[in-house]
A and B are shown apart, each in its own frame.
Chain A
């Protein structure tokens, strides 16, 4: 065999052995805008890390949660990186299901992560997941409608004021509704908002002895207020509206006000996606009795399950996807309103971001002031603003969410709904051994 014949063969073999040695990691993530961008930047990661190949499993949030819980609880080892929320991290970390992340490289700059977010993803002071993006809640409103009606929004609106404004601006004949709020039942749907309302009305899910407080005066007031507000000044069929439906309604110009996630701001400010981009006003989430727990705190984070066979490669990936360099890469390639918000101080210090996102400082303030460890007026035994950080909360929250939705549709009175919610929550915590 002559040399010039052997060279391509050797070259091909070397290439084949190189690509064969590349480690493939499977990343499970949700189908939210920011994650879709992360997936689209696969090439950038693989170019910088030629020895790692990414395989994606992108699923809808609830399906993904069920899929990942099954896998991690059975030590299935199907995923190397999982996208989980502030709710799951402490619960899973306690069971040693996640790889602790205590030896991160210096250039990762752990101190740059927002303290509230970092605390939410830590167990006994050790990070168990790295934040990909974070959100709080706030109030969006239509500046043009407010100006026409001569309403000035104060620095910190109250729910009472919101009700008055909704009454003035509610014009169902013109398909403009006073207020849009989540009504779709679910712990991450209507209960995210209702829990913040209960907090600010002075209520809590449990007292210090884990007795459910759903039949208390504060719950009664908050839920009655929510039901009346949405029934009188909300869009028709509000009980089936979640984040997406309200985003569609608000961006089409059908809502005068909307209280929901800060992560909607980027989409509402984008003229391609929103018809109200030039008329958008924002304010902190409304308060009632107390400012405590009036706005939620959530972050989507990347974690490595203990069952992964490729922990080192997975760590390479999650430190890349949550780094300052990644934020800059997204800003340059996809536009600065598309960068994942709510994770790093440096994002908010970035001039490009501040210019593109006029809501930046505002969101940062909301994120910093939300305190999951102190979100209720009276003391409570749990952490979490819009959720209770115990494994049983998924079922409790969803059941109570269904009762609240039943009150919203008029199927039950608020009192009946809350009594039923109290009974079912009592049963659940009793069975789980929280009550003596």
Chain B
């Protein structure tokens, strides 16, 4: 039980740190952050809307209180899920805007990452099973080579070839002008067509980490004593590979999955920008270029919390899968 308690305390700690980091980032600049933001907005356009100033105040707390009062006020607002009003999408609240964008990213990232994990783990297992053969070198060298391609560039090339030149898929957006979001067949098929290219862009490089990780772990676990014993007992090769090699090798990939999520979300920002896909990444970039600071801060916080929750769940799962972890931590 000590293992799970420890992971829970760590989760709460990182959650608090992420919320505090989000509070501190706008205050890294010299002077009153609200004033600095207002004056920068004034420099951008002729007049500053009072609603904008109000939105900034809501995000940053009252400037007359000391830092601690501001912090307490901010924590209260975060606990109530109150992130203020987005001033580019006035009168919608920040929470509403995030609610609109979140499903797009969750579905795109969720589906592509599960496929990547399964495909990567299978290919890695195959490479390790046939290690030092031609299959192994094709898989490892191929994925090393693909891994060197910057994938926002791959995404651009996909748009160029399959959307603009061949017209196989729509070029940008999450759904066409003819349909509106809802549970209609028209919308779902339309959204699917729009998501094919972004998904392919994420799937080309997605499995690479799992392939290399799985192969290396499994080559190692196949060299361990218990595997040698299984060989000596004359068990079939395939059974040794799957129940003695792969079963142990897959464990580090489970936690790796959660840690990689942060990087994957970064990549999603790039891919969503290339395809103008209506998810969190594009919303983040839009909020940056329109200087919608409340929206930007909230997206950063949501993304970080998402990764933290995923890590916590992976830690819990790891504890169930690998009894050694529980023993070491409680000893």
Q: Do A and B bind each other?
A: no
